[in-house]
Chains A and B, each alone.
Chain A
Amino acid sequence: MKQNTSMEKDLEIRSQDAMCVNESQLSHKWYHNIKYAVVGIFFGVIFVKSEAISWFRIQEMFRLQSFHMYGIIGSAVIVGIVSLWLIRKFNIKTIYGEPIHVSPKKFNKGQIYGGLIFGLGWAATGACPGPLFAQIGAGATVIALTLLSAIAGTWVYGFFREKLPH
């Protein structure tokens, strides 16, 4: 019982702002995670080939000079909405037979302050966290330092979290 509470607490802490807390009740060996690396590989290829991780494309987007990035994000969201709707409508399960659950996002002021701060960084570096990894892979090795700086930013947020308005 005691262990159970500590597990719940752990989930609670992880779900603070984290996107990926959908807790599967199943425990798997580590190599089950390889399938996510495969999805990641496809994702990295799409990122590079669509130029969505190009600094230049991001500049175009924020100057309203091209539809490209809006088309990518817009069509991705539409496909996402339809897929989630289909999953719910037909009660589709995971490949392990678990019901699919997506946790809702609670509003807090962090989405405004943090969102604005993130936007500034996005336009400066031309990358959000995913593209940072793809850019490094694609040979822009100096971006490894940008990634380290982003990790430092995450850490500093964690350090000051209780003092920041949310």
Chain B
Amino acid sequence: MIKMLHLLKQPWPWYVAGPLIGLTVPALLLLGNKSFGISSSLRHICASCMPANIPFFKYDWKKEAWNLFFICGILLGGMLTVKLLGDPNPVSVNPTLAKELAGYGITDYRNLIPEDIMNWRSLFTLKGFLLMIPGGFLVGFGSRYAGGCTSGHAIMGLSNLQWASLVATVCFMIGGFIMANLILPLILSL
């Protein structure tokens, strides 16, 4: 039992985590005909809190309440993992990346996000602000414009063999490559 718990506390390999994430697709369908997708929750939050007479937000968001329960669950899952299955070791990354990031003063690997540049205090530095606030804006704007995010397009859409989702997924990756390799080095040098 203790051995099992020890194993669970280690980072899970991709061949365990990936199939489990894939199983979310049939799980949500079997439980009530729900298509896996997370970015829609942001739209429901807009529709419930500040629809402002915008047609895009004028719908009965209560019918999509399951999606809001789902994201609350994700948040709780994050909390529970840290409490019960926390891994004391820092995330181990490719040495080439570690070397590159060290050049920008990023050496703290204990958290999911780089504590050196993303924390409450660094919110008032230019690079911390750019990564967290405009970065978040792009995530929300882009995913809705694309009609879905990694879950809705890359996982649900591709599982359903949709061309539109393949186009979206390829564009997600292109955008990511541009940011990580061309723009991010400039921001991190600030």
Q: What is A's interface to B at a CB cutoff of 8 Å?
A: 10, 13-14, 16-24, 28, 30, 32-63, 65-69, 71-81, 83-84, 86-87, 92, 94-96, 98, 100-108, 110-130, 132-143, 145-159, 161, 164
Q: Which residues of A contact B130 (CB under 8 A)?
A: 124
Which residue of chain A is the closest to B180 with respect to CB atoms?
A62
Q: Which residues of B contact A140 (CB under 8 A)?
A: 111-113, 118
Which residue of chain B is the closest to A125 with respect to CB atoms?
B135
Cβ contact within 8 Å between B146 and A115: yes
Q: Which residues of A contact B159 (CB under 8 A)?
A: 77, 80-81, 83-84
| A84: contacting residue among B38, B58, B160, B173, CB under 8 A | B160
Q: Which residues of A contact B109 (CB under 8 A)?
A: 56
Cβ contact within 8 Å between A153 and B141: yes
Cβ contact within 8 Å between B139 and A121: yes
A-B contact pairs, 16 of them (CB 8 A): A19-B156, A22-B33, A23-B63, A37-B72, A43-B70, A50-B21, A60-B93, A65-B93, A114-B144, A117-B141, A126-B113, A133-B72, A133-B75, A137-B82, A154-B144, A157-B56
What separation, in Å, do the CA atoms of A48 and B114 have in the docked complex?
15
Q: What is B's interface to A at a CB cutoff of 8 Å?
A: 8, 11-43, 45-46, 50, 52, 54-60, 63-67, 69-82, 85, 87, 91, 93-94, 96-97, 101, 109, 111-114, 118-120, 123, 130-165, 167-181, 183-184, 187
Cβ contact within 8 Å between B134 and A149: yes
Q: Name the prevailing secondary structure of the A interface residues.
A: helix
Cβ contact within 8 Å between B67 and A20: yes
Cβ contact within 8 Å between B14 and A37: no
Cβ contact within 8 Å between B30 and A95: yes
User: Other CB < 8 Å A-B pairs besides A50-B17, A84-B26, A142-B119, 5 of them?
Assistant: A18-B43, A76-B19, A114-B146, A121-B136, A153-B138
What separation, in Å, do the CA atoms of A150 and B113 have in the docked complex?
17
What separation, in Å, do the CA atoms of A126 and B131 have in the docked complex?
9
What separation, in Å, do the CA atoms of A137 and B86 have in the docked complex?
13
By Cβ-Cβ distance, the 8 closest A-B pairs, closest first, are A119-B175, A44-B77, A40-B73, A137-B78, A19-B37, A114-B145, A115-B171, A79-B22
